[in-house]
Amino acid sequence: MNELVQLTKEKEIAIITINNPPVNALSPGVAQGISDAIASIENDKQVKAAVLIGAGRTFVAGADIKEFGKMTSGKAQRGAGLLPLLLSIEDCRVPVVVAIHGTAFGGGLELAMACHYRVASPTAQVGQPEVKLGIIPGAAGTQRLPRLAGVAKAVEMCAGGNPVGADVALELGIVDRLIHGDLLEGAVAFAREIEDKPIAKTRDRTAKLGTSAQNAPIFALARDTTRKKQRGLKAPLAAIDAVEAATTLPFDEGCKVEQKLFTECLFSDQSRSLIHVFFGEREVAKIPDIPKDTPLLPVQTAAVVGAGTMGGGIAMVFANAGVPVLLKDADQPALDRGLSTIQKNYANSVQRGRFSQSFVDERLKLIRPTLSYDDIAGVDMVVEAVFEGMALKKQVFSELDRVCQPRAILASNTSTLNVDEIASATGRPQSVIGTHFFSPANVMRLLEIVRGKQTGKDVIATCLQLAKKLGKVGVLVGNCRGFVGNRMFHPYRREAQFLVEEGASVEAVDNALYEFGMAMGPLATGDLAGLDVGWRIRKEYRHLEQPGIRQPIAEDRLCEMGRYGQKTSAGWYKYDANRRAVPDLEVANLIRAWAAEAGIAQHEPSGDEIVERCIYALVNEGARILEEGFALRAVDIDIIYINGYGFPAYRGGPMWYEDTIGLGKVYDRIREFNAQYGAHWKPAPLLRQLAEEGRTLADFGVERAAADYI
């Protein structure tokens, strides 16, 4: 047919093979190839049935996402040309059996559902993940899925975007049979069984579409859950509307509704941002001076030193990925406490239905406690997660240097300290790296991988790959104070405090940023993390503060009063017995008094001002980090902020968001803030430079030579 789709025959069975690595995306060439193959089968009277299969590691992972940027609205309205192709398969003279392995996602599942029968490998997954890209299925997925799987499941899959495994797909009726053993062989045998058994086209089936009385509560509940769980996202609600259309309109009319909603979503800022995030999450693993074929070190076994909250969480991360892990602490009570927290966390996961009891039992067996450094001599990787203090860290690393096998990776979970100084406690700085997990480590997806001056390329490549194995997004960052995430978080939270000191209420600041889409407001986040943490760091680094730069006062004073946040039931807010935040009038009065004493001019900042000042503070510091080379590309910062700091993915991350507002506009606003609020708003030189050149942050840095990377 063409180089992307081949048509062969095994006697009376035609075999259409899609061969478009790496994931058999439905690019225009693939669609054309399938269309040609179907036309040829129509004309070949010897053919009694056909099998459609994917070559390589997967069936079809969806439409080619790279094509979306090139799409015009006319093309989008025709389902990128896929709709007519799917109708022609469904109308084919002979039954078409699709054989699924790997993933049938998005357009891949839509293609499969237009076939007459579906068989799958037991490990296959099927899903409509389009909402994760800010769109909805655009080739009748919202119309055919409810006809196969029923309305409730179709709503869940199209609006939630999560796939189901082959066994569930079989139960739901999406798949007709699982093939154990060779998939093609099994599919051909299946095709022979059904070659003279006509079956209703999916689009003509209505048995599972339910009645309006049955469906009304399903849609109401789905909309309610979506508004809560996918706050701010437009596509999931559009997906529900489209599935609803399948239940009220004939197939063709339902498809028209789907097309309209698909087009609206595709040309939205949310979709552009989420597609940026999709490619960004893959881009961050590509490091210019670390070739793809860099030899990797084995990580079959691991150890975590320090059984506190972070250490325990990190041990769970390894165990969850099936890596046996030793948990080391200095004394038995600390170790016991750590293990019991791990057990409690796992028990909660079972209670919430996240893990099964048998999964948890297996994971717990992988975590072995120890008090002795000598026990960890043979492991492939150690993550140090002891209390944040340089002297202690160095002591741990000199012990690790003494006991660990020569090729072991020695990683520190430090969130602030200098990785090179930590490495200097060993005779093998090339093996030392920072792996900064985020709390709770077993939940948060971000892993900042901190490159020291002498960290080996094999160690970096291994950690980037390991991140994926651990279910994390690993982002390589340079070794500066606070690395990328926390360094930017500092001015962001500082600005939130300034706003409060200038007259905004604590709730107004948090609400404005929550409404913007942040998972939590900055002040509530401080209360959750513990205000004393920042207070301790500020005291330690006070000597580094530049004279003449305004410093916030309120948070230090709250700490002096013992108000550390949730853990003391009081911080910026009061907390009730259920740890629910309650606005505290006492705090409001204290802040007014402190501001008057410090002579801070009062006004009532609007929601827009709150958002601009906090988010542009992130952008300004991000631009400095980029210019100094501590982050490789703007997208690296975006991925850090989305996965570690609750920045809304549908806004693409702070740097992408800035580019969507317009760099010139943001730069001008920062200059205004600089004039109005003081020297801490000095614009990053890179912003000035790019504004003058009319370029964007995304343009900058991609091509920067690795040698510049600090």
- State in angstroms the smallest separation of the CB of 104 from ligand 3H9: 10
To the query of whether residue 130 is one of the catalytic residues in this protein, the response is yes
Rounded to whole angstroms, the Cα distance separating 506 from 513 reads: 11
Query: Quick one: which of 655, 660, 609 has its CA closest to 634?
Result: 655
67 labelled catalytic? no
**Terminal CA-CA length for the chain:** 50
25 or 327: whose CB is closer to ligand 3H9? 25
> Which is nearer to ligand 3H9, 55 or 537 (by Cβ)?
55
Smallest distance, ligand 3H9 to C-beta of residue 70, A: 12
In sequence order, the β-bridge partners of residue 519 are: none
DSSP state of 418: -
Catalytic residue among 90, 130, 384, 507: 130
Q: CA torsion, points 104, 109, 114, 116, in degrees to nearest 10?
A: 50
For 176, 281, 554, the CA distances from 561, given in Å and listed in that order, are 66, 42, 11
Rule CB under 6 A: which residues touch ligand 3H9? Answer: 22-23, 25, 61-66, 79-80, 82, 103, 105-107, 110, 129-130, 133, 137-139, 141, 279, 282
Closer by beta carbon to ligand 3H9, 108 or else 534: 108
Q: Which of 12, 42, 67, 110 is catalytic?
A: 110
The CA distance from 100 to 145, in Å, is: 16
Give the span between the Cα atoms of 167 and 638, in whole angstroms.
36
Residue 161 beta carbon to ligand 3H9: minimum distance, rounded to whole angstroms = 8
Q: How far is 680 from 488, CA to CA, in rounded Å?
A: 13
Buried b (16+ CB within 10 A) or exposed e, 255-283: bebbbbbbbbbbebebbbbbbbbbebbeb
- The Cα 338–Cα 344 span in angstroms is 10
Helices (H), 230-268: 235-248, 251-266
Q: How far is CA 13 from CA 8, 54, 96, 430, 657, in A?
A: 9, 16, 10, 58, 52
What single-letter DSSP state applies at residue 657? Answer: H
| φ and ψ at residue 481, rounded to 5 degrees | -65, 125
The answer to whether the CB of 555 falls within 8 A of the CB of 587 is no
Name the pairing type of β-strands 13-18 and 5-10.
antiparallel
Which positions are annotated as active-site residues? 110, 130
